[in-house]
A = this chain, B = another copy of it.
Amino acid sequence: MSLTRIHNFSISLDGFATGEPQSLEAPFGHAGQRLHRWMMATRSWDAEAGSTGVDNAYAERHGPGIGAEIMGSHKFGPPGWHDDPDWKGWWGPNPPFHTPTFVLTHHARPSIEMEGGTTFHFIEATPAEALETAREAAGGQDVRIGGGPSMVRDFLAAGLVDHMHLVQVPIVLGRGVRLWDGLEGVEAAFDVEAVSSPSGVTHFTFTRKAS
């Protein structure tokens, strides 16, 4: 069975998954790299000196078993990226997705084949439609919901998420885009586990209850 999964999705104590304003120089706004430093300190990111403990164990689950990703428009580029016909994402010639990757946008454009197995497809679709498309492309494997927070919220609200790994970083961002808005009671559909790491972050896993 193909699952819908979220991995390494980092939020602040006050629930912001990105700061503001987002720009080419600051993809996460005033949050800078603070939400993701825990991940950059793991072996999965830093093959030489990264840690191999609990943070890395969670971080490494990002890739295996995934056959496609769906991402929101704000993850693919800074505001206005769709006005730049040469924009190919933040990640250089070999993006870290290695599968078909569906970008939700109102500005569809031709697909872009990158190195390493990533092909960006640009689609305008509801969460359910996008998931159906991605699932076909995933060849029986799982589909990753890549973020940002607005599209994660949409997929959660639509009941389309089977597994969600959140990482809560002990900072108060104060402003940006919140994950939890409009999701009152969302935890009822999930078994929730919290595990604190010596690094200071807390890992939450939301696993959809058997229905």
Interface residues of A (CB under 8 A from B): 13-15, 168, 170-175, 178, 180-187, 192-196, 200-202, 204
Question: Do A174 and B185 touch (CB < 8 A)?
Answer: yes
**A172 to B157 CA separation, bound complex (whole angstroms):** 13
Question: Do A192 and B170 touch (CB < 8 A)?
Answer: yes
Beyond the given pairs A15-B15, A168-B194, A172-B183, 12 more chain A to chain B contacts, judged by CB atoms under 8 angstroms and listed by A's residue number, are: A13-B180, A14-B15, A14-B181, A170-B204, A173-B184, A174-B184, A192-B200, A194-B200, A194-B201, A195-B196, A196-B196, A202-B202
Whole-angstrom distance from the CB of A16 to the nearest CB of chain B? 9
Counted per complex, copies of this chain come to 2
Whole-angstrom distance from the CB of A125 to the nearest CB of chain B? 26
Chain B contacts for A175, CB-based, 8 A: 184
Whole-angstrom distance from the CB of A195 to the nearest CB of chain B? 5
Which residue of B has the minimal Cβ distance to A199?
A: B194
Question: Do A194 and B192 touch (CB < 8 A)?
Answer: no
Interface pairs (22), CB distance under 8 Å: A13-B187, A13-B204, A14-B15, A14-B178, A14-B180, A14-B181, A168-B194, A170-B187, A170-B192, A171-B185, A172-B186, A173-B184, A174-B182, A174-B183, A174-B185, A175-B184, A193-B200, A194-B200, A194-B201, A195-B196, A196-B202, A202-B202
Question: Do A171 and B187 touch (CB < 8 A)?
Answer: yes
**A204 to B13 CA separation, bound complex (whole angstroms):** 10
Nearest 10 pairs of A and B residues by beta carbon: A174-B184, A14-B180, A170-B192, A194-B196, A196-B196, A194-B202, A172-B186, A172-B183, A14-B15, A195-B196
